[in-house]
Amino acid sequence: MTAQHTPGPWYWIGDSLTHRQFDIYTPYGIDDRHEHVCTVNNLPHDRLMSRPLDRANANARLIAAAPELLEALEMAQELIEASRQYFPKSIKHGDKFKLENTNATIGRALAKARGK
């Protein structure tokens, strides 16, 4: 799949005053400048301070990891699809069910990421 999103890796920088607003950047951009991807927790100041710092950090880390997570899911889906032909008939039904369920979950996540 050709990426429509800003290529990774992404990293995040916290607001030095409140540490509850984070900007996500990529080191690759026009003229070797960092490209801004998004801002996390851009709330009015009165609500921003009530947001738990742990949650804000976790949100920023998860968003910054998105390109690598997307790539990992695409690779996992390809591996599952390719490995189906090698499964012996003796594979446990429960294991096959888990694998197919995992593949379906990956498919839904990829569809969501691709806007489908």
| Full DSSP string of 54-109 | HHHHHHHHHHHTHHHHHHHHHHHHHHHHHHGGG--TTS-HHHHHHHHHHHHHHHHH
If one counts the domains in the chain, the total is 2
| Per-residue pLDDT at 42 exceeds 60 | no
One domain for residues 57 and 81: no
* Single pTM value for the model: 0.73
One domain for residues 49 and 84: no
- Per residue in 55-96, pLDDT tens? 777 888 888 899 999 999 999 999 988 887 777 666 777 777
Q: Residue 25: which domain range?
A: 11-64
One domain for residues 28 and 40: yes
Q: What are phi and psi of 14, to 5 degrees?
A: -85, 155
In a domain, residue 33? The reply is yes
One domain for residues 81 and 52: no
| Per-residue pLDDT at 1 exceeds 60 | no
Judged by DSSP in three states, 35 sits in strand
Contact 19, 53 (CB under 8 A): yes
Whole-angstrom Cα distance, residue 86 to residue 112?
A: 29
